């Protein structure tokens, strides 16, 4: 999967009183924690019709056997997870057509129908070399909806930039909105210049750019340094933080002596050995903050993303992981926590070279800059 190669890994109010997870989700669902995105269109500022919750769940591992070792015998655990989350206020799942080659979308659709609960679903268009027209975006959206057993979805995104045809992809997103296939649209793995272009192009049609889903974590904080996060904030484009746990390397489960199995092993080895000083400092800071709030390392990593104004979408493959993720909403980082974590991740370097093209060869538009 192409996104595998790219991944390696404002302060909130003081924690005077712990809040309940349900009340936090309810507040977010009411649009009070996170305001709708806005986009500067030709006729002014248009609010996004989609209100995003404080946290979502990524379903990359649902169906992906190559990277995450998916096995259909564990579908019961995924359904248990889905049913629990679907009963919470404002549940939000993010998937993509290439997650398990459509299997993730199928599972989400099956679980939603079986539960009788309505959830917010987001999926993504794979900008593969043979998909070069706006019509390809519409067809892919329709195929995703068919796999999910739906007539429409809440959010549809371009998964990653291509070396060409990016303008056509943005046109295709607009067409999906106008055809009533999607409520809102976004992009993923787009740089600052590409975000500006997409926002303006959609704005001319009166359509706001709701989100930019990017790799964002204590292990990959580069959007804070290169202006991408600031650009999204300026345009009212909400950042969806994927891999907020750094592919599990921020979960506290792994170390130099205990590496994860499979493709993540090399990334973990690079982190704990190549960047040993940074890794030691970061792991210690995460533990210290977690101990202060009686929280887990995963919750610290998620809360850092929330404190930065993003919507983290950590993955979960069972109910235990889901509950741990959602429990991050029971407490908040204070300003000292955020400063300590910022200092701890300073100097970290990417663990893998990005496969995304930097420029569109037809237009010269800079597409990716992290």
Q: What is the pLDDT of residues 285-339, one digit of tens each?
A: 999 999 999 999 999 999 999 999 999 999 999 999 999 999 999 999 999 999 9
CB atoms within 10 A of CB 362: 12
Calculate the dihedral angle through the C-alpha atoms of 354, 128, 313, 40, rounding to the nearest 10 degrees: 90
The overall pTM is greater than 0.75: yes
User: Which is nearest to 55 in space by CA: 331, 236, 333, 326?
Assistant: 326
Rounded to an integer, the average pLDDT of 67-77 is 91
How far apart, in whole angstroms, are the C-alpha atoms of residue 163 and residue 83? 40
Percentage of the chain surpassing pLDDT 90? 72
User: Which is nearest to 7 in space by CA: 343, 249, 360?
Assistant: 249
Strands 92-94 and 182-188, by their bridges, are: unpaired
Evaluated on CA atoms 311, 315, 320, 324, the torsion sign reads negative
Work out the angle at residue 110's Cα, subtended by the Cα atoms of residues 246 and 50, and round it to the nearest 5 degrees. Answer: 60
* CA-based end-to-end distance of the chain: 19
pLDDT at 4 over 60: no
- Amino acid 29: pLDDT: 42
Percentage of the chain surpassing pLDDT 70? 88
How far apart, in whole angstroms, are the C-alpha atoms of residue 162 and residue 169? 9
Give the least confident one: 24-33, 190-199, 207-216, 354-363.
24-33
How far apart, in whole angstroms, are the C-alpha atoms of residue 296 and residue 326? 12
- Amino acid 36: pLDDT: 44
**Residue of 70, 85, 99, 169 marked catalytic:** 99
pLDDT at 180 over 60: yes
pLDDT at 197 over 50: yes
Inter-residue contact 247 to 267 (CB < 8 Å): yes
**SS3 per-residue string spanning the chain:** CHHHHCCCCCCCCCCCCCCCHHHHHHHHHCCCCCCCCEEEECCEEEECCCCCCCCCEECCCCCCCCCCCCCHHHHHHHHHHHHHHHCCCCCEEECCCCHHHHHHHHHHHHHHHHHCCCCEEEEEECCCCCCCCHHHHHHHHHHHHHHHCCCCEEEEEECCCCCCCHHHHHHHHHHHHHCCCEEEEEEECCCHHHHHHHHHHHHCCCCCEEEEEEECECCECHHHCCCHHHHHHHHCCEEEEECCCCCCCCCCCCCCCCCCCCCHHHHHHHHHHHCHHHHHHHHHHHHHHHHHHCCCHHHHHHHHHHHCCCEECCECCCHHHHHHHHHHHHCCCCHHHHHHHHHHCCCCCCCCCCCCCCECCCCCCECCCC
pLDDT digits (tens, 9 = 90+) for 220-265: 999 999 999 999 999 999 999 999 999 888 998 888 888 888 888 8
Ordered structural domains, the chain, with CATH: 2-344 (3.20.20.100)
The residue ranking higher by pLDDT, 144 or 68, is 144
- Amino acid 44: pLDDT: 47
Inter-residue contact 265 to 247 (CB < 8 Å): no
How far apart, in whole angstroms, are the C-alpha atoms of residue 216 and residue 193? 18
Concerning whether 99 is annotated as a catalytic residue, the answer is yes
Question: 323: Cβ–Cβ under 8 A, 6 or more apart, which residues?
Answer: 84
């Amino acid at each position: 999967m192409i996104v595998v190669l790219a991944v390696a890994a404002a302060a909130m109010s003081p924690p005077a009183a712990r809040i309940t997870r349900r009340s936090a989700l309810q507040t977010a669902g009411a649009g009070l924690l996170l305001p709708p995105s806005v986009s500067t269109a030709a006729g002014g500022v248009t609010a996004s019709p989609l209100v995003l919750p404080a946290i979502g769940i990524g379903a990359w591992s649902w169906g992906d056997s190559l990277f995450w070792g998916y096995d259909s015998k564990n579908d019961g655990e995924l359904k248990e997870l889905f049913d629990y989350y679907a009963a919470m206020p404002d549940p939000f799942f993010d998937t993509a057509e290439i997650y398990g080659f459509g299997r993730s979308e199928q599972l989400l659709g099956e679980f939603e129908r079986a539960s009788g609960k309505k959830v917010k679903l987001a999926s993504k268009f794979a900008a593969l070399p043979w998909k070069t027209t706006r019509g390809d975006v519409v067809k892919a959206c329709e195929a995703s909806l068919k796999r999910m057993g739906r007539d429409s979805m809440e959010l549809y995104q371009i998964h990653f930039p291509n070396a060409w045809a990016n303008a056509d992809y943005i046109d295709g997103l607009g067409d999906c909105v106008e055809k009533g296939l999607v409520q809102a649209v976004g992009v993923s793995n787009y740089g600052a210049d590409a975000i500006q272009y997409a926002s303006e192009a959609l704005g001319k049609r009166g359509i706001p750019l709701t989100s930019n889903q990017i790799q964002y974590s204590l292990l990959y904080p580069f959007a804070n340094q290169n202006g991408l996060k600031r650009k999204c904030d300026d345009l009212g484009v909400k950042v969806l933080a994927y891999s907020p746990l750094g592919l599990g390397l921020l979960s506290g489960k792994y170390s130099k002596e205990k590496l994860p199995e499979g493709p993540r092993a090399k990334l973990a080895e690079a982190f704990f050995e190549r960047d040993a000083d940074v890794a030691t400092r970061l792991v210690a800071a995460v533990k210290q903050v977690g101990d202060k709030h009686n929280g887990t390392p995963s919750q610290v990593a998620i809360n850092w993303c929330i404190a930065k104004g993003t919507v983290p979408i950590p993955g979960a493959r069972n109910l235990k992981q889901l509950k741990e993720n959602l429990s991050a909403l029971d407490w908040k980082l204070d300003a000292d926590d955020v400063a300590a974590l910022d200092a701890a991740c300073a100097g970290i370097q990417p663990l893998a070279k990005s496969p995304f093209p930097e420029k569109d060869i037809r237009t010269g538009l800079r597409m990716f800059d992290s």
